[in-house]
Chains A and B, each alone.
Chain A
Amino acid sequence: MTGEAPERDATPLLSVEDLSTEYAIDGRVVRAVTHVSFSIGRGQVVGLVGESGSGKSATGLSILRLLPREGRIAGGRVLFEGTDLAKLPEADMRRVRGGRIAMIFQDPMTSLNPYLRVEEQLAEAGVLHLGLSHRKAVAEAVALLERVGVPDASKRAHGYPHEMSGGMRQRAMIAMALLGKPSLLIADEPTTALDVTIQAQILDLLRELVRERGLSVILVTHDLGVVAEIADRILVMYAGRIVETGSAREVLTRPFHPYTLSLLRSVPRLDRRASRLESIAGMPPRLDRGPFTECTFAPRCPLVREGCRAREPDLAPAGPDDRRLRRCILAPDEVAR
Chain B
Amino acid sequence: MTDVLLEVTNLAVHFPAVPLPVRAVDGVSFRIRRGETLALVGESGCGKSTVARAIMGLVPPTTGEIRFDGAPAPPLGETARRPLLSKLQMIFQDPDASLNPRLTIQASIAEPIEIREPGLSRTERESRVTGLMNDVGLDPSMRARYPHELSGGQRQRVCIARALAVRPELLVCDEAVSALDVSIQAQILNLLVDLRERFALSFLFITHDLRVVRHLANRVAVMYLGQIVELGPTDALFDAPRHPYTEALLAAVPSLDAARAVATRARGDIPSPSNPPSGCRFHTRCPKVFERCPKESPELFVLSDDRHCRCFLAESEAVPSVRSPSA
The answer to whether A226 and B254 touch across the interface, beta carbons within 8 angstroms, is: yes
* B30 is an interface residue with CB less than 8 A from chain A: no
Docked complex: B228-261 residues within 8 A CB-CB of A: 234-235, 238, 248-258
- Which residues of chain B are within 8 angstroms of A280 by Cβ–Cβ distance? 183, 186-187
Given contact pairs A51-B183, A204-B265, A228-B255, A273 touches B189 in the complex (Cβ within 8 A): no
User: Does chain A have a CB within 8 A of B208?
Assistant: yes
B256 and A165 within 8 A (CB): no
Cβ B235 vs Cβ A273 within 8 A: yes
A143 to B101, CA, bound (A): 50
Bound together, the chains give a CA A196 to CA B254 distance in angstroms of 8
In the complex, identify which listed stretch (B115-123, B162-170, B210-218) lies at the interface while the others stay far away. B210-218
Given contacts A273-B215, A276-B193, contact A222 B183 (CB under 8 A): no
Nearest CB of B to A79, in Å: 30
Q: Does B215 contact A279, Cβ atoms closer than 8 Å?
A: no
Q: Out of A198, A224, A262, A276, which one reaches B256, CB within 8 Å?
A: A224
In the complex, A280→B211 CA distance in Å? 18
Tell whether A263 pairs with B182 under 8 Å between CB atoms, given A165-B269, A200-B265, A225-B255: yes
The answer to whether A267 touches B151 (Cβ under 8 A) is no
CA distance A264 to B183 in the complex (A): 9
A222–B182 alpha-carbon span in the complex (Å)? 8
Q: Is B215's CB under 8 angstroms from A268's CB?
A: yes
Q: How far is the CA of A273 from the CA of B151 in the complex (A)?
A: 28
Chain A residues with Cβ under 8 A from B134's Cβ?
A: none
Chain A contributes a number of interface residues (CB within 8 A of B) equal to 44
In the complex, A252 has a CB within 8 A of chain B = yes
Interface of B is mostly: helix
B181 in contact (CB, < 8 A): yes
Instruction: Please measure, in the bound complex, the distance between the C-alpha atom of A335 and the C-alpha atom of B183, giving whole angstroms.
Output: 18
Contacts of A195 in B (CB 8 A): 43-44, 208, 270
Q: Which of B44, B183, B184, B214 has a CB less than 8 Å from the CB of A270?
A: B214
Name A269's closest neighbour in chain B (CB-CB).
B211
Q: How far is the CA of A199 from the CA of B252 in the complex (A)?
A: 8
- Asked if A201 and B190 sit within 8 Å, CB to CB, the answer is no
- The residue of chain A having its C-beta at the shortest distance from the C-beta of B181 within the complex is A51
| Residues on the B chain within 8 Å of A167, using CB | 269
B185 at the interface (CB under 8 A from A): yes
Identify which of B238, B258, B269 contacts A229 (C-beta below 8 A): B258
Whether A168 contacts B269 in the complex (CB less than 8 A), given A196-B43, A196-B249, comes out as yes
Within 8 Å of chain B (Cβ to Cβ): is A277? yes
Partner among B190, B212, B234 whose Cβ is within 8 Å of the Cβ of A276? B190
A283 within 8 A of B: yes
Please state if A277 and B190 are interface contacts (CB–CB under 8 Å).
yes
Is B110 engaged at the interface, CB distance under 8 Å to the other chain? no
* Complex CA distance for A321 and B282, rounded to whole angstroms: 53
Question: Which residues of A (51-88) have their CB < 8 Å from a CB of B?
Answer: 51-52
**Docked-complex contact B252 and A200, CB < 8 angstroms:** yes
Q: Is B266 positioned at the interface, with any CB of A under 8 Å from its CB?
A: yes
A-B contact pairs, 10 of them (CB 8 A): A195-B44, A197-B43, A197-B248, A197-B252, A197-B270, A199-B254, A225-B254, A229-B254, A268-B211, A273-B215
What is B's interface to A at a CB cutoff of 8 Å? 43-44, 151-152, 181-187, 189-190, 193, 208, 210-212, 214-215, 234-235, 238, 248-258, 262, 265-266, 268-270, 285
